[in-house]
Structures are given as C-alpha cells and as structure tokens.
Amino acid sequence: MKTILVPTDFSEPALYALKIAASIAKKTYAQIRLVHAYNLPSSEAREAVNFKEFYKQVSIDKEKKLGALTKMSFLNGITVSKHFEDNMKPWELVNDEKYKNADLIVIGSHGNSGYQKLFIGSNTEKIIRMADAPVLTVKKSDDNFDIKNMVFASDFSEETYPVFEKIKFFTELYKMHVDLLKVITPHNFEKSSTSKELMDSFAKSFKLTNYTINVYNAGSIENGILGFSNEQKTDLIAIETHGRSGINHLIGGNLAENIADDAKLPVLTIKIKEDNQTHKKAQHPTKNYANWGTE
C-alpha cells in the first residue's frame, strides 16, 4: 500500500478516520493524503464583493485547520500531504486525477443518526459507489486499530474474486481470522451444501488457512450480515458493492451503503467493476495486492 486518502470536514468522526488511517499507514509505510473538499455557491454569488471577502477568510481558516491536523502527534513519522479543493464535492475526489489512484480511502461517519450524519446519506454513499479503491468507513476513535476478526459477506460468485484480491492484504497484514459468510433469505434460497461448496472453493483459491465457512438464514441480507457480525463480535465487516455496474446478484441496490450506515463496526466496501475478469483469470491476478502491506 502506498497512498491512503482521508477526506475531512474537520469534525470529530473525520478525526477518528485520520487516526485509523495513521495506524494503518504506520503498518504499511503508506503516505496519507488529507483533503478537504469545499463546494462553492453559484458563479453569480462568487462575483459579489462581500462574498469574495467572506470566501477569502473561509479559505484562510480551512487552510489553518488542515495545517493543524497534519501536525497532530499521532501522525509523527508519517508522510502527510494536505489538499484544499475549493470547488469540488467530496465524492468527486475519487474520480479526480489527483486522488483516484489511492490504495485505500478512510472516511468518518456519525452513522444512522438523522441530521447528524457526516458523510453517510449523501457523500459517503456516493464515495462507496464510485471509488475503485476499498473504502473503510469508521464511526469510533481507535488509536491502535488492530483488527483480529473480519466477516467477509458475499455471494462468492466469479465477480467476487477480484474484489477479495483487493483486501486480502488486510487479512495478512493483521493476521486476521476470516468468517466467510453467505446469507440465505426466503427470496434467494440456496441449498446449504451448495453455499458451502462455493465458499470452500473460494477459500482454497486464496489459500486461506485461518477461516470459517458460514451459512446464515435471515429475513434480509442486511439483517443477516449485521446479525451474524454482532453474534461473532467481529472487528470488521467487508462487503462488495456493484457500484454503477447495474449487476444485481447478492449486492444490489444500496445494501453496501446501508451496511456502512447501520453497522457500529468499521465497514470495508469494495466495488465490483463491470469489466472484472472471470473466475479463472481472477485466480491469477495481474496485480499482486498481497504485497501492498510492504510496498
């Protein structure tokens, strides 16, 4: 891993995200790109003299806040660059040439708390849907981000293999136990033996050694993922999203965004691309994500 992107609005949850990004950066020797995106009003309003003075002061204040964040003690020893975008929405960062090649995006959220939502509901949902990089959504401060157990929820189809390639380094970096999870609902019934065969093949393809195979029955996929994760007292939920692809297998609609919103745990979301390789090609990826932790 080389670069971690951390969008900030200077709120407390955004600070949580920066602390966790710092913890990951120290383990992976990655640099952090800390960015505040500020969307300007209409062009007519920008021409007003009083707005120019107001915006000048706003810009000065935000630059000072960014500077203060980069000097926080928990960032000692980490290369941190600060960026201020004065005419860009937060979700537009992930497709901008300066930021789209990040290896990981870490964002803070108030979660499902009405008007107090930070990114979830608008910005984070779009970031999760649009970003090619894995997106880690966090809600609590954790000065020593140390994840020992991860639930990876999926349908374990061919599309899933390239997705897991992007996060396999996490399992190795933290020496995690992985609970492979397939949720069965009345609307997507599948024989348990079939589900277990899919997960067993998946585990063998990635040469996983510290894992379990789990089939969980629930009224909905979201409830199943959250219910199982709570029962297992896991540290992290990882889930795929189809983003803008329109594919509708396990992850459809806003499921990934809803999990990131509703879960109290950190949630790692990874987008499935339309042009993903097939199952066989996925087992021989062109990029070795397993080496990210030491690059």
Q: Splitting the chain (295 residues) into consecutive groups of 10 residues, what average pLDDT does each group show?
A: 92 92 95 86 55 74 90 95 85 86 89 47 75 90 87 91 88 94 89 93 95 95 95 94 50 70 88 56 39 38
Within this chain, domains 3-138 and 149-294 share the same CATH topology: yes
**Does residue 32 come out as left (phi exceeding 0), alpha (psi in the -120 to 50 range) or beta?**
beta
The residue among 119, 81, 70, 93 whose CA lies nearest residue 2 is 81
Task: Judge contact between 216 and 228, C-beta under 8 A.
Answer: yes
The architecture in CATH of the region 149-294 reads 3-Layer(aba) Sandwich (3.40)
Given 3.30.300.30, 1.10.3720.10, 3.40.50.300, 3.40.50.620, which CATH number is that of 3-138? 3.40.50.620
The two three-digit tokens of residue 292, written as one number: 């990210």
Per-residue pLDDT at 47 = 57
Q: So where are the chain's domains?
A: 3-138, 149-294
The residues pairing with 237 across neighbouring beta strands, listed in sequence order, are: 151, 267
Identify the DSSP state of 93.
Answer: G
Per-residue pLDDT at 288 = 40
The residue among 234, 239, 259 whose CA lies nearest residue 179 is 234
State pLDDT tens for residues 276-285.
Answer: 443 444 443 4
Per-residue pLDDT at 292 = 39
Identify the DSSP state of 30.
Answer: -
Residue with tokens 């999990």: 259
What's the burial of 146, exposed, middle or buried (CB within 10 Å: 0-12/13-18/19+)?
Answer: exposed
pTM of the entire structure? 0.83
